[in-house]
Amino acid sequence: MTLTPVAPTIRSRPVYAPLAAVPGHLHLVIADGEGAEAVTDMLERAPDAAGFLALTHFLYCPGPTGTDLSDRLQALGAMQFFRAPTIPALLPRLQRVLTDAHMGSRFYLAGSEGLIGQAERDIMATGFPFAAIQKEHRGSTLRRVQCVHCKGITENVATDPFQCSHCGLNLFVRDHYSRRLAAFQGVNIDAEDPGEVPESVVRFT
């Protein structure tokens, strides 16, 4: 398994690149599911994996489709390893780490776009330049989507269109992405002709 390919569409659609170890005094590596493999691949390429791990704090949770490679990451023997059961349980820990973090810390995000986006949002909120946050998308392509009408967010969207889990509108899933919300945008597809909804297809797995 390698980097999940992303077809370039519009400028706002996030793109990803393989992780690479860079100089820093703390490496905060945040991953879910198959993202663990992006991390082990990076370590194989790193000139000094042991030195990197001695400064590494892992935050990990299973992916949206259930992939759990915690054991593999834990076995690497990093300075700290934290496993959360879910992304919502992982994020408060990230907040806690960010409160005390200093410049010289580096960020590596890997796995689903939902995890990458939400971790990026929280790191970016500190003022750290988002372009310096490394991101490698692996595994599930399920999307986190904001309904542009009711503003509710639906996690793990698989089909397009789908029904907003908050207001019930039929939403077309756009590639238009908000870094601040960490979500793709969903737009009502039958606004002009209520009820005329194209057949829903599975686009994200």
How many CB atoms neighbour CB 73 within 10 A? 21
Considering the complex, state which of residue 150 and residue 181 has its C-beta at the smaller distance from other proteins.
181
Minimum Å gap between C-beta 90 and other proteins is 18
Is 163 within 8 Å of 87 (Cβ atoms)? Answer: no
Considering the complex, state which of residue 92 and residue 168 has its C-beta at the smaller distance from other proteins.
92
Residue 167 carries which side chain, given as an amino acid letter? C
Minimum Å gap between C-beta 109 and other proteins is 14
Minimum Å gap between C-beta 31 and other proteins is 19
Minimum Å gap between C-beta 47 and other proteins is 15
Q: What is the DSSP string of 151-181?
A: --EEEEE-EESEE-TTT--EEEEEEEEETTT
CA pair distance 27, 44, nearest whole angstrom: 16
Minimum Å gap between C-beta 117 and other proteins is 17
Considering the complex, state which of residue 47 and residue 127 has its C-beta at the smaller distance from other proteins.
127
CA pair distance 188, 190, nearest whole angstrom: 6
The residues that bridge with 162 in the sheet, in sequence order, are 171
- Give the angle 84-85-89 at the CA atoms, nearest 5°: 60
CA pair distance 168, 17, nearest whole angstrom: 35
Considering the complex, state which of residue 131 and residue 201 has its C-beta at the smaller distance from other proteins.
131
Considering the complex, state which of residue 27 and residue 137 has its C-beta at the smaller distance from other proteins.
27
Binding site for other proteins (CB under 8 A): 22-25, 98, 101-106, 123-124, 126-129, 131-132
